[in-house]
Structure 1
Amino acid sequence: MSKLYWVLIGLILPVLQTSASEIDPPRPLSLKTVQIPEPPDLHQYIRDKPMAIALGKALFWDMQVGSDNIVACATCHFHAGADSRSKNQVNPGTHALSDAQRREFDLGSNMQLTASHFPLRVLTDPDDRASPAVFSSDDVISSQGIASYEFLRVLPSRPVEQLRRQTDQDGFSVNRINVRRVEPRNTPTVINAIFNYRNFYDGRAQYEFNGVNNWGDRDPNAHLYRAESATRVEPVRISIEQASLASQAVAAAVNDFELSASDRPFPMIGRKMLVARPLAQQQVHPQDSVLRKYSRWPQPGLALPDYAEMVRHAFQPEWWQSDQQIRLLPGGHSEICHRARPIAQQGCYTLMEFNFSLFFGLAIQLYEATLVADDTPYDRFMEGDSTAISEAAIRGVDIFRSQTRGRCINCHEGAELTGAAVSQVQASPVRIREGQAFDRGYNNIGVRPATSDLALGQTDPFGTPLSYTKQLYAAPVCPDGHSCPVVADGFFKVPGLRNVELTAPYFHNGGELTLRGVLDVYSRGGNFAQLTERDGSSIMLLNILHLSEQEKLDLEAWLLSLTDERVRYRRAPFDHPQIFVPNGHPGDTEKIDKQVAGTAADHMVEMPAVGEEGAYPMPGFLESDM
């Protein structure tokens, strides 16, 4: 969205007051009433949309994408779009402002989590947020990705990377043996994420996709090349709107907590993957809803020679067809290679390799856009089936929308059940509540102090606040004519609620194990009696609801009515190829039983391939040794 749009918001800001009204808003509509966002200029890039979706599904589930040929995007999103693993899933709080805090585990690397570790903040009086804490940890329960490696090169004409083990600077080791690094925030589900205006908990995956990274129009150097002829390519800047999932996908691929060895440039991912047979290590079910026509069942992989073949069919040729080569330079710059020498000797890339971030991001977005869970009992209830949900669930949704009791709907807005949705942000991107201005769809609900993780309060690499409100307004004008301070520290994206039954643990730190625990937090108005910005100014606390036992039961009944059974049973479009996921390492927090060259051996768990008819439900978090 252009800066002009955000400037114009300043003219209407006084009408965006969002203090509670005594009139209850209507029940949220069925998600089927919301159009799935899609880039308006998609045809400029996509040649064959079904093939692009197939490419996206293959890339999302393919273990070859990770530098170690083990970690895929799906490694952290295999269970209801989220992660149900429970060993080596602890991060010490690497986003904390305190240097000492960032590497200090309360629970430990390679910990096998149990129910006894939850919640991560235990109060003397669970109904009083101001009561002393019996236990309080700034650890985060999240997802293990890759171990600490330095990227060296991709082996010639082979989908294999040469890596060098490096000492883990963030403490992910046991007795100097590296274990897999764990991300600093709990993994949100990718299901229904297509509706988000921005992605990641801190919103850094921008609405506009620049084809290169997650920073959208913020990055002045991001550029691709487009072929003007077979022998001439030109650098171009692009800005694809409604594409924050593409922004998110390319960020994960080069993140050294998730998929990548350090300093792996995206064109090198292209060099590796373009010669790889898609899903070469994994079986694809012969009834896969997207990939069935390419399945080699029971042999692994797709019946396509390599990813280059899929790119050629899926994308317009001006983005990949050229004899010209491009060299990547420091600082995001590049130049055209003119000498007729082998590509590798010049550090040059083909056009298809250089633009691989475009293909990767858009293809994965198009696949994830199919992962829409809009057939829950509640959706059917709002479509006219009065028997679809229980009386308790009906009472629950009415508490949810009540302006005198739950008030949940004030943040979990619309049919998407989040103010962070495209439709909500485009309607009014800034909220003003009780004299404070902030980005719509983001909130600080007092799970942890803002100093544990600034989230939306951070700045991007170009020195600009992540918060759009803070970026454009030093002091917005409130409806009463006075200046409204902008708050952003510790503000996280408000998640949607469908399938929440299946995505424990909860909150950005994974600090609550159960839905009942979540409701207890809201009932007492958070975990802390005071929240502050870095400058010491106060952040408004949640309302203390003092929910009754019956109200909590009713709210939970409604939350359970938001489960789409296609997700639970992995029916199309939620079916998937086979994948092997690492679930911690042999040993415990004190010793590692097996290692290879200074890195802990993995305990691998297989998820067999599932076709469009689905399969048995996978165990949830702590429901098995996952």
Structure 2
Amino acid sequence: MRKRWRFNTVKPHRQISRFSKAITIAAIVIVAILAGYTVSAQVTSRPLASLKTVTVPEPDNLTEFVSNKLAAIKLGKALFWDMQVGSDGVTACASCHFHAGADNRSKNQIAPGLLQINSDRTANPDTVFNVGGAPNYQLKPEDFPFHQLSNPNDKSTVISDRNDVVSSQGIFNSEFVDVIPGKAEDRVKSIPDPVFNVGGANVRRVEPRNTPTVINSVFNFRNFWDGRAQEIFNGVNEFGLRDPNASIVKATTPSHLEFVKVSLNHSSLASQAVGPPLSSFEMSADGRTFEEIGDKFGTIDKKTHSAGKGKKLPRKLAKKLLPLRPLGKQIVDPQDSALATESRSPQPGLQTATYNQLIAQAFKPEWWKSNRIIRVNPDGSRTFANKPDRSLETKEYTLMEYNFPLFFGLAVQMYESTLISDDTPLDRFLEGDKTALNEKQQSGKLLFEGKAQCTVCHNGAELSVASVSAVQQQRIGIINVPNLKVLFDNGFFNIGVRPTLEDPGVGSNDPFGNPLSETQLALLGTFKQLLGSEPNTTVGSNDLLVIDGGFKTPGLRNVALTAPYFHSGGYLTLRQVVDFYNRRGDFPQGALGDIKLTDDEKDDLVAFLEALTDERVKYEKAPFDHPQLFVPNGHPGDFTSVANDGKGKATDSFLEISAIGKNGGTGSPNFLATQ
């Protein structure tokens, strides 16, 4: 299997040069905090608060692009739920985020350790399925946790250990050929998949990290588990200012175009949104972008499930999607909170006939309206020309097509910014309703804030130190211990879920060869160039950087609905998670403190975590209602045999998610709840 990710090969200070000492280094961070050494205020002094007290982050310059916010939210909801976005005409963004913003499917949801690296930091992907033995396996409750111990309070006796990941099935391995005008399905060529196949028939590929919820994700300073979705959106891809070639086109007059660079802060959700539509694991056949992107504009790493250097959200996708009816395969409830006036129920789709029209309603005309086109020449250069009196050729793009990544990213961000669950029992309790939490939940709250030490990482109204309000004050976390300055990316911690070499997380590189870690960028002197601001502290060669194996601290609202847990998805229940923390993680590099909870205290802590559920999320009430969706749900057969469709792929099973209006429904079962 080809290399799937570019890992950090920079050797700043001892974080890399002394990689073998990662166990000792990582343990210093939280231990030092708990011992009372000088620590950043964001780590220790943010009390719990109602989420209603936090202003929803929004770009300072949003009005330069968006003319109608309600229209942009409508567009974003349509794009997020639309099955036509995927190359197969089936896979939507929502296909992995339809249950409490996450994924409750349990068949064909296993990926082997594809991100594993060697001690010298070269790729060493594990392609062996330890759980079930092969793809298309139906997970069972007894499979969990993947790291099983004879005593959950003692990590010394291991019964079994599996490095597989529970994530989300996406696309079949295939190569993009072309779009078909008027069709939701791309023309693709099936490619034999050496990993995700059963008996030689390709099955849907599964992402290498567990799917996090999109609910409340607007509060994250960076997005994705490894933080690669940048706080600044460049209008093109995930990587913000890291991509020196990212630019869009502006019509200064209807007949004059010019290339411009854009920068929208507080927009990691927009940065995140433009990644999956290009991912050959999530939504796209390989190569659904400019064929002409080559060495001049950057190459495409087809195995990274993210954009490579200069890779652009596909204008091929724009050519397909813009003339189609939004949600053309799906029914919209007549009482949908954002799309009610657009419903054609019982017919599928929206009243507005095309995505062209939705974009025109939402965005300022200088970004989509022109009588000129953008032409990509054989040498890769871009030139402007008058619109010809004929259909555009493959390498000719309207302004709306060319700027499609801007529209897609911002619209999806604006929709996801409405998905805020700020009406949990905890929120009501913190607002003064002392009956909102029962006695057991209040006891759990005291443990959460005290003995269990949860608020070291899960603090503030967002229950996360990876939030905008925490990180924008101090992007590089600082711990001063005697004769040593310990530095780390604020909000990213290695807690010993898996060995560090199985997935370096924020210790990886971006596709341009730069560390994802902002702390390392400060050490290299490229922080301001690549992130747009000055670091909050100097980073020197004598400082200790704790980076590898660090993952973004998630918020915890609705955590009772979003199993399985951690970036590996290897834990099924909240009790298993509490046991994990109680034994200070599973692997010695984890930086967790010793808490020694009793069984009754564990029960109280779980009860508190269950009190973080917003009933609107559970029962899909506005703003968490949605259109109809058909999601791939494994393949007929099992992990030993599947039906071949005659073209090298397994046939699909589908799960129908019914259209729900603003008043909600009965909710859907949690992960493995019916097994």
Match of 1:46 among 46, 62, 66: 66
- 2:532 paired residue number: none
TM-score (norm 1): 0.91
Provide the rounded CA distance (Å) in 1 between the counterparts of 2:77 and 2:536.
Answer: 46
Task: Tell whether 2:269 aligns with 1:249.
Answer: no
> How far apart are 1:47 and its partner, in Å?
0.9
Matched residue type, 2:399? L
- Structure 1 residues 312 and 139, CA, compared in 2 at 3 Å: closer, same or farther? same
Task: Tell whether 2:556 aligns with 1:492.
Answer: no
Task: Tell whether 2:661 aligns with 1:611.
Answer: yes
Contact kept, 8 Å, 2:370 with 2:399, in 1: the verdict is yes
Secondary structure, counterpart of 1:409 in structure 2: helix
Matched residue type, 1:140? V
Secondary structure, counterpart of 2:393 in structure 1: helix
Deviations 1:384-420 (A, max 9, x none): 0000001121121221122xx2111111121100011
Match of 1:274 among 311, 322, 347: 322
- 2:417 paired residue number: 369
Secondary structure, counterpart of 1:245 in structure 2: helix
- 2:199 paired residue number: 175
Provide the rounded CA distance (Å) in 1 between the counterparts of 2:477 and 2:199.
Answer: 49
Deviations 1:558-605 (A, max 9, x none): 101100000000000000000001110011111113424111111101
Match of 1:422 among 468, 471, 485: 468
> How far apart are 1:323 and its partner, in Å?
2.0
- 1:20 paired residue number: 34
> How far apart are 1:100 and its partner, in Å?
5.6
Secondary structure, counterpart of 1:345 in structure 2: coil
Deviations 1:352-395 (A, max 9, x none): 01110000000000000000000000100000000000112112
Contact kept, 8 Å, 1:89 with 1:142, in 2: the verdict is yes
Task: Tell whether 2:204 aligns with 1:156.
Answer: no
Task: Tell whether 2:612 aligns with 1:598.
Answer: no
Match of 1:316 among 353, 359, 364: 364
Match of 1:546 among 579, 593, 596: 596
Deviations 1:130-172 (A, max 9, x none): x142211111000001111111111134443111101225x01
Secondary structure, counterpart of 1:438 in structure 2: strand
Contact kept, 8 Å, 1:147 with 1:181, in 2: the verdict is yes
- 1:84 paired residue number: 104
Contact kept, 8 Å, 2:31 with 2:593, in 1: the verdict is no
- Structure 1 residues 55 and 339, CA, compared in 2 at 3 Å: closer, same or farther? closer
- 2:308 paired residue number: none
Contact kept, 8 Å, 2:176 with 2:286, in 1: the verdict is yes
Contact kept, 8 Å, 1:207 with 1:216, in 2: the verdict is yes
Provide the rounded CA distance (Å) in 1 between the counterparts of 2:185 and 2:536.
Answer: 56
Matched residue type, 1:399? L
Task: Tell whether 2:87 aligns with 1:67.
Answer: yes
Secondary structure, counterpart of 2:656 in structure 1: strand
Match of 1:195 among 195, 215, 219: 219
- Structure 1 residues 382 and 477, CA, compared in 2 at 3 Å: closer, same or farther? closer
Matched residue type, 1:503? T
Secondary structure, counterpart of 1:20 in structure 2: helix
Provide the rounded CA distance (Å) in 2 between the counterparts of 1:290 and 1:409.
Answer: 35
Match of 2:443 among 370, 395, 404: 395
Secondary structure, counterpart of 2:189 in structure 1: strand
Provide the rounded CA distance (Å) in 1 between the counterparts of 2:594 and 2:372.
Answer: 63
Provide the rounded CA distance (Å) in 2 between the counterparts of 1:358 and 1:214.
Answer: 11
- 1:432 paired residue number: 478
Matched residue type, 1:304? T
Provide the rounded CA distance (Å) in 2 between the counterparts of 1:246 and 1:493.
Answer: 17
Superposed, 1:322-333 pairs within 5 Å as 322-328=370-376
Secondary structure, counterpart of 1:103 in structure 2: coil
Matched residue type, 2:248? L
- Structure 1 residues 400 and 65, CA, compared in 2 at 3 Å: closer, same or farther? same
Task: Tell whether 2:452 aligns with 1:406.
Answer: yes
TM-score (norm 2): 0.85
- 1:110 paired residue number: 136
Output the aligned Cα RMSD.
2.4
> How far apart are 1:46 and its partner, in Å?
0.3
Provide the rounded CA distance (Å) in 1 between the counterparts of 2:537 and 2:244.
Answer: 33
Matched residue type, 2:198? V
- 1:146 paired residue number: 171
> How far apart are 1:333 and its partner, in Å?
6.0
- 1:463 paired residue number: 513
- 2:159 paired residue number: 134
- Structure 1 residues 298 and 491, CA, compared in 2 at 3 Å: closer, same or farther? same
Secondary structure, counterpart of 2:106 in structure 1: coil
Match of 1:294 among 342, 349, 358: 342
Contact kept, 8 Å, 1:141 with 1:511, in 2: the verdict is yes
Secondary structure, counterpart of 2:250 in structure 1: strand
Deviations 1:534-560 (A, max 9, x none): xxxxxx631122211122111111101
Secondary structure, counterpart of 2:251 in structure 1: strand
Contact kept, 8 Å, 2:476 with 2:537, in 1: the verdict is no
Deviations 1:488-526 (A, max 9, x none): 111000000000000000000001000000001100111
Aligned residues: 597
Provide the rounded CA distance (Å) in 2 between the counterparts of 1:477 and 1:598.
Answer: 53
Provide the rounded CA distance (Å) in 2 between the counterparts of 1:100 and 1:106.
Answer: 16
Contact kept, 8 Å, 2:372 with 2:387, in 1: the verdict is no
- Structure 1 residues 409 and 437, CA, compared in 2 at 3 Å: closer, same or farther? same
Task: Tell whether 2:185 aligns with 1:165.
Answer: no
Identity of aligned residues (%): 48
Provide the rounded CA distance (Å) in 2 between the counterparts of 1:474 and 1:116.
Answer: 47
Contact kept, 8 Å, 1:190 with 1:368, in 2: the verdict is yes
- Structure 1 residues 477 and 204, CA, compared in 2 at 3 Å: closer, same or farther? closer
- Structure 1 residues 484 and 251, CA, compared in 2 at 3 Å: closer, same or farther? same
Matched residue type, 1:176? G
Provide the rounded CA distance (Å) in 2 between the counterparts of 1:335 and 1:106.
Answer: 52
Match of 1:569 among 593, 611, 619: 619
Provide the rounded CA distance (Å) in 2 between the counterparts of 1:375 and 1:416.
Answer: 13
> How far apart are 1:471 and its partner, in Å?
1.0
Superposed, 1:519-538 pairs within 5 Å as 519-529=578-588, 531=589
Contact kept, 8 Å, 1:470 with 1:487, in 2: the verdict is no
Contact kept, 8 Å, 1:337 with 1:348, in 2: the verdict is no
Deviations 1:194-238 (A, max 9, x none): 000000000000000000000001100011001122222111110
Matched residue type, 2:175? E
> How far apart are 1:624 and its partner, in Å?
2.6
Name which of structure 1's ranges 23-32 and 418-427 shifts more when overlaid on structure 2. Answer: 23-32
Provide the rounded CA distance (Å) in 2 between the counterparts of 1:357 and 1:449.
Answer: 36
Contact kept, 8 Å, 1:343 with 1:349, in 2: the verdict is no
Name which of structure 1's ranges 57-66 and 406-415 shifts more when overlaid on structure 2. Answer: 406-415
Matched residue type, 1:408? C
Provide the rounded CA distance (Å) in 2 between the counterparts of 1:298 and 1:340.
Answer: 40
Deviations 1:320-365 (A, max 9, x none): 1012222347998633356947554351111101110000000000
| Runs of at least 5 residues in structure 1 that lack an aligned partner in the other structure | 1-15, 532-539
Name which of structure 1's ranges 208-217 and 147-156 shifts more when overlaid on structure 2. Answer: 147-156
Contact kept, 8 Å, 2:88 with 2:184, in 1: the verdict is no
- 2:22 paired residue number: none
- Structure 1 residues 549 and 17, CA, compared in 2 at 3 Å: closer, same or farther? closer
